[in-house]
Amino acid sequence: MTIDLDAKVQNADWTKVKPDLGVTNAAELRAELARQGMSVEHFKTLPVYRFSREHFDKLLKEPT
C-alpha cells in the first residue's frame, strides 16, 4: 500500500501557510489576473482562492 499525502488538492503543498502569488494589494491582484486573462469570478473557483479565501477577500474589497 502506498500513501499519497498530496492525493487531495487541499493536502498539496501542506507546508505553505499563505499564497505565494506575490500580490499585496487589490490593484496588483487584478493586474495579475488580467495578465493571465482571468476574471475575478473565475479566480474564485480555483483552489488557491478557496484555501486562502480570507486573504484574497480582504484584497478584493480594497478600492482599486
What are 6-29's pLDDT values in tens digits? 666 666 665 555 667 778 888 888
Q: What is the mean pLDDT of the chain?
A: 78
pLDDT value, residue 31: 92
21, 13, 10: which is closest to 60 by C-alpha?
21
What is the model's pLDDT at position 15? 52
Residue ranges per structural domain of the chain: 22-61
How many other C-beta atoms are found inside a 10 Å radius of the C-beta of residue 50?
12
Q: Report the pLDDT value the prediction gives residue 37, as an integer from 0 to 100.
A: 95
- Specify the residue for cell string 486573462: 37
pTM: 0.62
Cβ-based neighbours of 6, under 8 Å, separated by 6 or more: 12, 13, 14
Distance CA(29)–CA(64), nearest Å, equals: 10
